[in-house]
Chain A
Amino acid sequence: MKPHWKRSILYGGAILLSLILPLIYPRPFFLHVLIMFFLYSLLSESWNIIGGYAGQISFGHALYFGLAAYVSTFLFVRFGITPWLGLVAAISVASAAGLLAGIPFFRLRGHYFAIGTIGLTEAIAVLVNEWELVGGAVGIYIPMLEPSIAHFQWKSRIPYYYVVFGFLVISMVIVHRIERSRLGYYLRAIKMNEAAAVSLGINPLKVKEIAMAISCGIAALGGVFYAQYTLYVAPDTVMALQISVDMAVITLVGGAGTLFGPIIGAAILIPLAEILRVYLGKVGTLHIAIFGMIVMFVAIFQPSGIIIYFQRLRRWKREV
Chain B
Amino acid sequence: MSRPLSPPEPAGLGRAAGEARHPLLELTLARFREFLREPEAVFWVFAFPLIMTCALGIAFRARGTEPVIVGVGEQPGADLIVSSLEQATGFTIRRVPASEVDRAVRDGRAPVVVIPGTPPAYRFDEARAESQVARLAVDQALQRAAGRQDAFAAIQQPVQTVGSRYIDWLVPGLLGMNIMGTGLWGVGFSIVQARTKKLLKRLVATPMSKAHYLLAQVLSRLIFLAMETTVIVGFAWIAFDVKVQGALWSLAVLALAGALSFGGLGLLIASRARTIEAVSGLMNLVMLPMWVLSGVFFASSNFPDAVQPLIHGLPLTALNDGLRAVINEGRPLTALAPELAVMTAWGVIPFGLSLKLFRWQ
A binds B: no
A residues contacting B by CB (< 8 A) are: none
